[in-house]
């Protein structure tokens, strides 16, 4: 379930879908590269913001698949690259991490004020899901245009997820993420000489070590453990007061299901949890059904937004 959807045939991304490359300047030094798909008269349509997971980008299969479904539903959609992702390393001197929820609050503010988009929905996958939930708990009541958030396989307790990722049974995923992050840091160092000491890279063997030496200090944290604790969306779950959907699989290899047995989540009437027994990490393939493709989570996300819009 985790691996197969990446290669499952989806058909070509529709060339007729209008695409605008847009950089949101969330601070004087930091720009986020996005792919915007605007309906005619954008202010008259709901707008769906999408945030990918660790080492993903706007071109990740689930980002493209969900964007097409949202466009077909008559909604604007914006695929967002997190800092340094999708070839945007030159747009910021910083690394990206689990705590940067303010980046997406700034995008919501800009499209509300400049594009008159007053019905915004934020969807995040994995690390992007943690960011979406964190934002909802921190800013939900101060962002009137944010109508709801959804998170697919969110790493709401990053420390537990990194420990699971480093389990021997997950060596393939762990190796992929660590190799990709290492290569990205080397590219960043060429763009911003002298900012990072790369002499440690050859000795790093785990994600925890990478975050301890590079991610945490770059983000202003005392170390990996402090970074994981401070950036965890579980800290803000009880503060969420807008419609929220969490989709996770009980067999996700590195998002432990026990994290979701959280009183803050169970007791919050604004949060709906969907946790099928199978689905892997952001996979969720299903049999073909009439009017639906095999990508179960994408279909459920669209159904959920439709239901909220109809009830409103």
| Chain segment 43-83, per-residue pLDDT in tens | 999 999 999 999 999 999 999 999 999 999 999 999 999 99
Helix (H) or strand (E) holding 289: none
pTM of the model: 0.96
pLDDT at 287: 85
pLDDT at 303: 97
State whether the Cα torsion 297-300-302-304 is positive or negative: negative
Q: Is-catalytic flag, 281?
A: yes
List, in sequence order, every beta strand (DSSP E) within the chain. Answer: 20-27, 30-37, 47-51, 76-80, 120-125, 146-152, 244-247, 271-274
Q: Choose, from 126, 211, 218, 231, the residue flagged as catalytic.
A: 126
pLDDT at 111: 98
Q: Is-catalytic flag, 126?
A: yes
Express each pLDDT in 19-45 by its tens digit: 999 999 999 999 999 999 999 999 999
Q: Choose, from 103, 211, 218, 252, the residue flagged as catalytic.
A: 252
pLDDT at 260: 97
Tokens describing residue 98: 């689990």
Segment-wise mean pLDDT, segments of 10 residues, the chain, 312 residues = 82 80 97 97 97 97 95 97 97 97 98 97 98 94 94 98 97 97 97 96 97 98 98 97 97 97 94 97 89 93 96 80
CB 224 within 8 A of CB 216: yes
d(CA 62, CA 306): 19
State whether the Cα torsion 260-4-15-306 is positive or negative: negative
d(CA 44, CA 42): 5
């Amino acid at each position: 379930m985790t691996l197969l959807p990446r290669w499952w045939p989806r058909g070509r991304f529709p060339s007729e879908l209008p695409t605008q490359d847009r950089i949101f300047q969330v601070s004087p030094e930091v720009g986020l590269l996005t792919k915007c798909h605007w309906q005619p008269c954008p202010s008259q349509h709901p707008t769906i913001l999408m945030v990918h997971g660790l080492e993903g980008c706007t071109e990740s299969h689930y980002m493209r698949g969900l964007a097409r479904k949202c466009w077909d539903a008559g909604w604007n959609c914006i695929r967002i690259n997190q800092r340094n992702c999708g070839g945007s390393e030159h747009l910021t001197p910083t690394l990206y991490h689990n705590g940067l929820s303010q980046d997406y609050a700034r995008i919501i503010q800009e499209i509300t004020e400049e594009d008159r988009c007053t019905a915004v929905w934020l969807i995040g996958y994995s690390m992007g899901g943690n960011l979406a939930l964190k934002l909802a708990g921190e800013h939900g009541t101060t962002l009137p245009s944010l109508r709801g958030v959804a998170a697919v396989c969110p790493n709401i307790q990053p420390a537990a997820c990194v420990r699971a990722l480093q389990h021997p049974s997950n060596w393939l995923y762990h190796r992929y993420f660590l190799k990709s992050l290492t290569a990205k840091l080397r590219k960043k160092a060429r763009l911003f000489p002298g900012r990072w000491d790369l002499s440690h890279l050859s000795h790093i063997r785990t994600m925890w070590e990478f975050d301890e030496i590079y991610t945490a200090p770059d983000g202003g944290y005392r170390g990996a453990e402090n970074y994981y604790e401070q950036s965890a969306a579980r800290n803000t779950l009880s503060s969420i007061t807008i419609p929220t959907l969490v989709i996770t699989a009980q067999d996700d290899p590195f998002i432990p299901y026990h994290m979701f047995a959280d009183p803050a989540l169970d007791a919050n009437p604004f949060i709906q949890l969907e946790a099928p027994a199978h689905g892997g990490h952001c996979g969720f393939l299903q049999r073909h059904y009439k009017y639906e493709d095999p990508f179960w989570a994408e279909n459920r996300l669209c159904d959920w937004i439709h239901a909220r819009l109809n009830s409103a």
